[in-house]
Structure 1
Amino acid sequence: MATRDSVQQLMQQCEEVIEFANMQFKDGQMQEHYNDQDYAKALAHIEQAYNDLMTMSHSATDAQREELHRMRLQLQQLQNQMIITPH
């Protein structure tokens, strides 16, 4: 079973990933192809956070699973935006 602290820690990490990815997404739109390495790094962080959420959800309670699911949706939405938007 996932502890409340471990879920909160993972959620905080995901928030940091989202913040970093949003910065790279905005920079990528302004700088076009000058920032490809950091842009790819942000996408990799999103993927890792998504995988961590999936792993945690297997041992989470129903309420925790719902919270993790909402975070996964946020990550997916940002990932999709970064992939389909030319930078």
Structure 2
Amino acid sequence: MATRESMESLIQKCEDTLRFAQNQYKESSLQQHYNNDDYTAALQQLEETYQDICTMAHSANAQQREQLHRMRLQLQQQQNTMILQGY
């Protein structure tokens, strides 16, 4: 079973990653894609965090897996939105 501290840390990382990605998405919309490096970094961070969730899910209990699944869906949605917009 994953420890509560490790779960809280990962959830916080997910929230931070989502916030960063959403900000980059908004900025790129306003700046007409002049900020490609940060946009790419946000996409990479989304993927890394997604992989961290997958790893954590292996040692999580049912309740934790459900929470991780919800976070994974949010990350995927943001990732898809950013990819579809392109940069």
TM-score normalised according to structure 2 size = 0.97
Aligned partners of 2:56, 2:74: CA distance in 1, in Å?
16
SS in 2 for 1:34: coil
Map 1:6-85 onto structure 2 (within 5 A).
6-85=6-85
Which amino acid letter does the alignment assign opposite residue 52 of structure 2? D
Percent identity of the aligned residues?
A: 53
Count of aligned pairs = 87
TM-score normalised according to structure 1 size = 0.97
Output one character per residue of 1:18-61: Cα deviation in whole Å (capped at 9) or x when no partner: 00000000001111220000000000000000000000000000
Q: Is the contact between residue 18 and residue 75 of structure 1 (CA under 8 Å) also seen in structure 2?
A: yes
Runs (5+) with no aligned partner, structure 1: none
Aligned partners of 1:5, 1:80: CA distance in 2, in Å?
29
What do you get for the CA RMSD once the two structures are aligned?
0.8
Runs (5+) with no aligned partner, structure 2: none
Q: Is the contact between residue 21 and residue 39 of structure 1 (CA under 8 Å) also seen in structure 2?
A: yes
Aligned partners of 1:77, 1:37: CA distance in 2, in Å?
21
SS in 2 for 1:79: helix
- Shift of residue 86, structure 1, vs aligned partner: 3.9
